[in-house]
A and B are shown apart, each in its own frame.
Chain A
Amino acid sequence: MPTTSLSLTETPLLAGILRRADDALILGHRLSEWCGHAPMLEEDIALANIALDCVGQARSFYAYAAEVAGGGLTEDDFAYRREAGQYRNCLLVEQPNGDFAGTIVRQVLFSAFNDPYYRALTGSRDATLAAIAAKAEKETAYHLRHSGEWLIRLGDGTDESHARARTALDELWPYTGELFEVDAAEAALIEAGTLPDPRSLRAGFDATLDHILSEATLTRPAGGWMQSGGRAGRHSEHLGFILADLQYLQRAHPGATW
């Protein structure tokens, strides 16, 4: 595998696949940072398991991206040979883990969107995307349930856990708007029946959150100004640090295997 960064011509389909793949990989990487550091053994195992699901989903999407892009590329080329500006993940998943409440809130916000998104994707006219989603939606249902149950315990727990959960919710809320954005590339794929329209999932997302938050004695932040840019490759500084860690080995020793 050459060390140079990939030079890609992104068709709408390739961009659409990479958005899903990058969401899964970057969130999986973030969650893997908890391995050995979680507040208790059971949670260490749970976060590592969720990370494993995410990386597995990413691999399926990258393998399809490689097939679509052609030219002998592999799933690894997409993970290891793109610059931050070529990553298409939403900003939410690259946000730092913060404290445990921060990680749980990030997971709830992402899963409350991604679980119904994958379920809708099972109806894609693209057979490969539908197959990947049918596999993945069984996993994301558990991610939502697990993180939702934790958020209820944190919100409805002690004054401190409640305060931390509320702070995390306020800090991460501005990253939720991007989940429902549709640009020209996405619109073309929605029109073709390849991808679901995320705007059609908004009401369900709000209802899921309200259900969890009311049990957690928390409230959904008001709309407000929303962050944006990840889908177009404009990332927070955090992604560069993630990629430095994630890509180090392949950048330093191109093609290394063991």
Chain B
Amino acid sequence: MTPADADLARRAHAAAATVCDPEIPVLTIADLGVLRDVTVADGRVEVAITPTYSGCPAMDVIGIEVQTALAQAGIPDARVRLVLSPAWTTDWMTDAGKAKLTAYGIAPPAGKASRRALFGEEQVACPHCGSAATEKVSEFGSTACKALWRCRACREPFDYFKCI
């Protein structure tokens, strides 16, 4: 890569990294690990993004917002490429992203995304009061990536970002 291309890639990455997830607007796609790579070939920028779930309906919007963010940074005509491999995992979520999730009222993924037991027990701390006295209400929440939990200490329901 020429120095000019490297500089373009760096600016493009910085612009793409500001795009927020439309369903969890406190997280950027960089926080989530959805932003995988930014490359430059023949002066044209290509941004690789990966879906959190196969049916994630936010990917089209994220692609458009990446192109918009790059255009506003003076980089028109960027290409967005969807990559499936390696498969996205919550392990890629940054610590800053996890802290933002908690502050937003969503419990971040607990632990590492190793193979789950069929009926394994999860320990999830309440994002409101921090209590460990929580229970799962449903495996599926308001979006594919979240489950519905409730806190027995402060009585509040909350979303839990599932560990996958």
**Chain A residues near B (Cβ < 8 Å):** 42-43, 45-46, 49-50, 52-57, 59-60, 127, 130-132, 134-136, 138-139, 141-142, 144-146, 148-149, 208, 211
Contact = CB atoms under 8 A, between A and B. Distances in A.
A255 B138 CA distance: 39
Contacts of B84: 60, 131-132, 134-135
B160 interface: no
Which residue of A43, A59, A136, A148 has the most chain B CB atoms within 10 A of its CB atom?
Answer: A136
A46 B141 CA distance: 7
Classify chain B: how many residues form its interface, as a range: 20 to 34
B57 interface: yes
Given A45-B140, A138-B87, A142-B162, A211 B148 contact: no
Contacts of B85: 127, 130-131, 134-135
Nearest to B57: A52
Among the interface residues A42, A57, A144, which one has the most CB atoms of the partner chain B within 10 A? A42
Given A127-B85, A141-B116, A148-B118, A52 B141 contact: no
B118 A145 contact: yes
B64 to A, nearest CB: 15
Given A43-B138, A131-B84, A52 B118 contact: no
A134 B53 contact: no
A131 B142 contact: no
Contacts of B143: 49
A139 B84 CA distance: 14
B3 interface: no
